[in-house]
């Protein structure tokens, strides 16, 4: 059995930042890739909880999503950690 996952628009926005990472070979940018994956899933979870509480339009929800995206941008703009294989 496979799980069907539909990312939220906010989670997808975070995940699109992967295009800025070095994915040219395995493990080139694994730490930052993992961080973006976790933030993308966090954005998805936040949206699901806010939707269940009918809070998608709230300032608190928008602020939390903005903070997630800001952290994702900070990660992408940070220097890549040194790859011992290079």
pLDDT in tens, 32-71: 999 999 999 999 999 999 999 999 999 999 999 999 999 9
| 0.85 surpassed by pTM | yes
Residues 68/39, Cβ–Cβ less than 8 Å:
yes
User: CB-based contacts of 57: which residues, under 8 Å, 6+ apart?
Assistant: none
pLDDT at 83: 61
Residue 85 above 70 pLDDT? no
CA 23 – CA 58 distance, rounded (Å) = 36
């Amino acid at each position: 059995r496979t799980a069907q996952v539909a990312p939220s628009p906010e989670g997808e926005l975070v995940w699109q930042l992967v295009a800025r990472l070095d994915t040219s070979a395995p493990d080139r940018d694994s730490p930052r890739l993992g961080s973006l994956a976790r933030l993308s899933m966090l954005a998805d979870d936040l949206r699901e909880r806010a939707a269940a509480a009918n809070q998608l339009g709230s300032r608190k929800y928008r602020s939390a999503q903005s903070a997630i995206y800001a952290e994702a941008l900070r990660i992408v703009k940070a220097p890549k950690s040194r790859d011992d294989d290079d």
